[in-house]
Structure 1
Amino acid sequence: MGQLEGKAAIVTGSSRGIGAEAAKLLAAEGAAVVVNYRQKAPRANKVVAGIEAAGGRAVAVGADLTSPEGPAALVDAALESFGTLDVLVLNASGGMETGVGDDYALKLNRDAQVNMLTAAAEHMKPGSRVVFVTSHQAHFINTVPTMPEYEPVARSKRAGEDALRARIPQLEEKGITLVVVSGDMIEGTVTATLLDRANPGTIEARREEAGRLYSVEEFAAEVARMALADVPTGHTEYVGGADYLSA
């Protein structure tokens, strides 16, 4: 019996990368998981198939979190498929993609996070946990400069974190805790790849500065662990990047 047996989780942006790995780990602890994707249904279905092959339960749900109906679609899927919602992992983020509007980063990294939390919290029971996934580059943006190419995204993610933290008093009234997981640059993520493409050598330079960078699997394990960790609401779990912590 896993620690999440009988519980259900939504992991946003979980058709690949950190979200997909976190979804698998939560399922391994017994959680039934809503695997969220925006466009890549085959990827999400593959994640679901892997969870089911390992004896878990999962469902793939396409939803654009920046749309008015996106967050509700995920909550409805959890309740209709599994009858409960106990863990919300806010992993989806972006803003460096081509062909998106100038305000897309704020829409996704701030507004959509708040809308997703609002939709989910209405149905989460006391003892439930919300995990917001961010980066050191965003979390520390007000005190530690980041690359110009990433600064708008970093500031939008910091705005999202601040907006979520502002909801802690209301969440406490419901018995729901909010935890933030902040990580250094992660090897193999889309963001790291795009940054390295925009500024060649970025990943190698950061690896030399930090000593080592976490892999997607290693960071996802920390995200999944914080869904269960005995920590107070508002806690920030730092993963890698010791130089940020001493700045």
Structure 2
Amino acid sequence: MNGSLARRVALVTGGSRGIGAETARLLGAAGAHVFVNYREKARRAQRVAREITDAGGTATAVRADLTDQAAVSAMVGEIGRLDVLVLNASGGMERDAAPGYALRLNRDAQLALVDAAVLAPSARIVFVTSHQAHFHRERATHPEYEPVAASKRAGEDALRARVPELTERGIGLVVVSGDMIEGTTTATLLERRHPGTIDDRRGRAGSLPTIAEFAAEVVAAATAPLESGHTVYVGGGDYLEAA
């Protein structure tokens, strides 16, 4: 894939807020038609799509619970061919999350969407993750985040196992892993349960990436000339030093 996103079609899962919303805005500003996926927050997703169109781009909000295969199939049918698939949606820290939900969403649903999507030749898949998940085997994480970290790492591993098959089809996979980012759902939930978590992480890391900075790296990964399976690291130099 070359560096232009003009007339390309992109889907951002979990695109109604946070990193997903900012990624959608930046993709729209770069010329892509952006499908902003959401599960429940229709107004938020529609607002993101409207912000993109008001800025001169094109976008559509599309509803689908990624763990519901029928809903995913309907969404894929509405979208048609994709040039960029940003796998941003994740979960598992919700208080009412059913046992096994994190794995169903963060691994199984990711693979199912890749299988269901109509990916154009030379398409790029970008899997969004955290350092706590990417380095799950090397470093301990907060107990509340453990199911998310383990399942997202499982999702990453499962996608990486598909690289040879995807490469044969001309499709690339890039993983973008980031340090804790203030303003995201994960950071907010951890801060509520353990006040001082964000300041502690910032003190150990020196600084934390912003949502805008991280989203910019996700968008860059959609077109950068990177080998399939490459990992882009955003912040968290101490993780890299210990790896």
Fold shared, TM-score > 0.5 on shorter chain: yes
CA contact (8 A) 1:10 1:74 kept: no
Given that residues 34 and 74 in structure 1 are in contact (C-alpha distance below 8 angstroms), is that contact kept between their aligned partners in structure 2?
no
> Equivalent pairs: percent with the same residue?
62
The DSSP-based 3-state class of the residue aligned with 1:219 is helix
Corresponding residue of 2:102? 105
In structure 1, the gaps of 5 or more residues are none
Larger % of strand: which?
2
Q: 2:136 aligns with which of 136, 141, 158?
A: 141
- In structure 1, how many angstroms separate the alpha carbons of the residues matched to 2:168 and 2:72? 22
Deviation at 1:229, TM superposition (A): 0.7
Instruction: Indicate yes or no: 2:33 matched with 1:32.
Output: yes
TM-score by length of 2: 0.96
Deviations 1:99-150 (A, max 9, x none): 1201110011011111111111xx2122110000000000001011111221
4+ runs of 1 displaced by more than 3 Å?
Answer: none
Cα deviation code 1:49-98 (max 9, x no counterpart): 1011011111101100011123223322222xxxx310000000010011
Amino acid at match of 1:119: A
What's the C-alpha RMSD, in Å, of the aligned pairs? 1.0
Letter in 2 for 1:12: T
Q: How far apart in 1 are the matches of 2:83 and 2:172? A: 11
TM-score (norm 1): 0.95
Q: For 1:216 and 1:73, how far apart are their aligned partners in 2?
A: 30
Query: In the alignment, is the contact (CA less than 8 A) between 1:9 and 1:78 conserved in 2?
Result: no
Instruction: Give the distance between the partners of 2:150 and 2:64, measured in 1 at CA.
Output: 24
- Paired with 1:242 and 1:73, the residues of 2 have a C-alpha distance of 41
Q: State how 1:55-94 maps to structure 2 within 5 Å.
A: 55-79=56-80, 84-94=81-91
> In structure 2, what is the equivalent of residue 161 of structure 1?
156
* Counterpart among 184, 189, 212 of residue 207 in structure 2: 212
Aligned pairs, number? 240
1:201 aligns with 2:196: yes
